[in-house]
Amino acid sequence: MRLTVDCVSSNEYPEKFTIGDLLRYMDVEPVPWLIISVNELFFRRDVFDSTLLHDGDRVDLIYVRGGG
Amino acid sequence: MLNNKQKDHYYRNILLDDFGIEGQEKLLSSHVLVIGSGGLGTPSLIYLTSIGVGHITIIDDDKVSLSNLPRQILYSSEDINKPKGEVSKRKLESLNPDVKINFIQDRLTENNALEIIKGHDIVLEVTDNFETKFLVNDICKKLNIPFVIAGVSDYQGQITTCIPNKSKDFKSLFSTLPSSDKTLVEGVYPLSAGVIANIATSEVIKYLLGIDSLLLDKMMVVDLKKNDFKVINFPNL
């Protein structure tokens, strides 16, 4: 299926792919300050492995910044 | 009541639809607490003061250092080693004598937070650590005081606004609360700090004036390197 991840679009992704699968595929560590936006809706870390992605989804990795 | 000099001073504010004389008077009678007087806090304080927010409290326990100067735009080289709050008060009161600045030379902690936060109309949290952001989140909810939380590092940052009992809060974004690594020193693009601070300050002003379109249940995520501005919705829990 096709996903746009951090503005880069590709159809290389398998079906039945969760947010957790995507992060493992990208070799991204799900640190506590990482939240994922799918089609401009946030998903928290506790639902990464239960949230299925769908063809055409736009996924953004958001690292919440603690600095000031 | 605005006097003639104030009507002249705030003329271009007053001309705005949502301001008028009444809005300007509202700002001049407002009490805003700014937690942190650093890269985000200093641009915020300059605008809050210039625009005419009448009562501003600053809490920061830090002193000005040389490496602050590229982004902490209220300070200059002669301020090095001086307490940030003290320098801020002097410069801001000179910038706009209508504004009363109260500074607290301390760090916000679980022991003093309730006492410091109570009585303010809104709180702007712009410190450099997650622990204080979560503390402000909890105490403001307890006191039913609206708050804006912003953060920045590298070229990126984010802003969100919470009105207790009306919108979701910053903490609800996390299933496991992150903590700040005090040994990690990250770069900060000064212009990102400025842009994020100004959006956060605008949230404060809009709240005080009753302008809707606040970042409630939403977070604005800014990446100035990519010129990317996103508004993302909070999860339904």
Tell me the per-residue pLDDT of A10-57, one tens digit each, with 9 for 90 and over.
Answer: 999 999 999 999 999 999 999 999 999 999 999 999 999 999 999 999
For residue B181, pLDDT beyond 80: no
Answer whether A64 touches B (CB < 8 Å).
yes
A to B CB pairs, distance under 8 Å: 89
CATH number of the CATH domain containing B122: 3.40.50.720
CA B227 to CA A7: how far, in whole Å?
Answer: 13
- The CATH architecture of the domain made up of A3-63 is Roll (3.10)
Say what the pTM is. Answer: 0.96
Range of the domain at B191: 4-233
CA distance A23 to chain B (A): 17
Number of folded domains that form chain B: 1
Ramachandran angles phi, psi of B122, nearest 5° = -160, 155
Which chain A residues are within 8 Å of B150, Cβ to Cβ?
Answer: 68
Tell me the one-letter amino acid at B144. N
**Confidence at B237, pLDDT banded by 50, 70, 90:** low
- Do the Cβ atoms of A33 and B130 come within 8 Å? yes
Rounded Cα distance, B21 and B209, in Å: 11
Is residue B184 predicted with pLDDT exceeding 80?
Answer: no
Q: Does A8 touch chain B (CB under 8 A)?
A: no
Task: Give the start-to-end residue ranges of the domains of chain A.
Answer: 3-63
Give residue-wise pLDDT tens across range B14-43: 999 999 999 999 999 999 999 999 999 999
